Amino acid sequence: MDRPEVLVAVSNPEHVEQLVRSASDLARTMDGGVRIVSVVVKSHDSPFGVFSDETIIEEYSGDRRALLDRASRVAPEDVPVDAEVLVARSVEDGLLRAVAEMGPAALLVGWHGGGRRRSDVVLGTSVDALLRRAPCDVYVERIGRIADGVDDVLLPVAGGPHVRPAAAMAKAVAAANDASVTALAVAAPEDDRDRAAEWAANGRAAVEAAPGPAVEVTATVGEADDAIDALVAAADDSDLVVFGATRAGTLQARLVGSVPRAVADRTDRTVLIARASEAARTGLRGLIAGFRRR
């Protein structure tokens, strides 16, 4: 496929609409398409292990094909869609292989959030692996409430390369829904407010520079002792929150790992986390290490 693609992974029929809709919004702004994939896991001790991948796809993937058919019907008519079943030893292996072979511009996966996690796991073992290794922009969307229309998109910002993909998704969803975007930087009393204002202005500029039609975007600086409280309050006034992952810094540190999870746990709004392709190329171990330190 010559056009840029957004690769989206689906496994649960109940989550198809949410994920394919976000992928389609992003693909539309790229003048690209969506490739929907579903991974059949062939573990070493599975009865499937005696069959070839081709046999599994041809004879034992009926439910996955039905899922892909349903997912394809969800996509809007103006966005080209391809769909296929993959066979791999694990979900992450299948998706990483698909990224390597297909070269998509972005990968979108679902994240269930909540629940108890091991101390060395950030968003989940599969999601962590994709964040570390996928050499394209990666979007992780918290599975949950599907917004009944989108009027306001919140873009928390604190600098760093991940603002770019976060701004791209925020603009894509806003453009699809005739909504507005607010680039918000939250400064604690001890923080440099001018720096926060610069982050907010840069967030607005990133939205304006992202592909797609112009949308209404504003830059806002808030001041609060607790960034999570401020972001939850702002999220509750929005329909969608798009975080850009960030690796270092003081205020920046609050916008990664524990903060998106904490905000997601305290709001019923749709939450997305974006990770830039540049981070994979420059070594994402620091990002994950940063997650784990928080």
- For the residues of 116-141, what is the DSSP string, one character each? ---TT-SS-HHHHHHHHH-SSEEEEE
Quote the CA–CA distance of 277 and 260 in Å, as a whole number. 20
> Mean pLDDT throughout 15-34?
94
Q: Could you tell me the end-to-end alpha-carbon distance of the chain, in angstroms, rounded to an integer? A: 40
If DSSP codes are grouped into helix, strand and coil, which group holds residue 69? helix
- Looking at residue 56, the DSSP 8-state letter turns out to be H
- Looking at residue 254, the DSSP 8-state letter turns out to be G
* Residue 240 pLDDT exceeds 60: yes
Nearest by Cα to 291 from 94, 131, 168, 96: 131
Report the DSSP beta bridge partners of residue 244. Answer: 274
User: For position 260, what pLDDT does the model report?
Assistant: 74
Nearest by Cα to 256 from 110, 157, 135: 157
Nearest by Cα to 279 from 259, 256, 261: 256
pLDDT tens profile 186-228: 887 777 788 889 999 999 999 999 999 999 999 999 988 888 8
Distant-in-sequence, close-in-space partners of 254: CB < 8 Å, separation ≥ 6:
158, 186, 227, 228
Q: Which residue has the tokens 């939250």?
A: 186
Q: State the pTM of this model.
A: 0.87
* Residue 182 pLDDT exceeds 90: yes
pLDDT tens profile 245-260: 654 444 444 444 567 7
Q: Which residue has the tokens 């840069």?
A: 202
Q: In sequence order, what E strands does 127-231 have?
A: 137-142, 152-156, 180-187, 216-223
Contact 156, 243 (CB under 8 A): yes
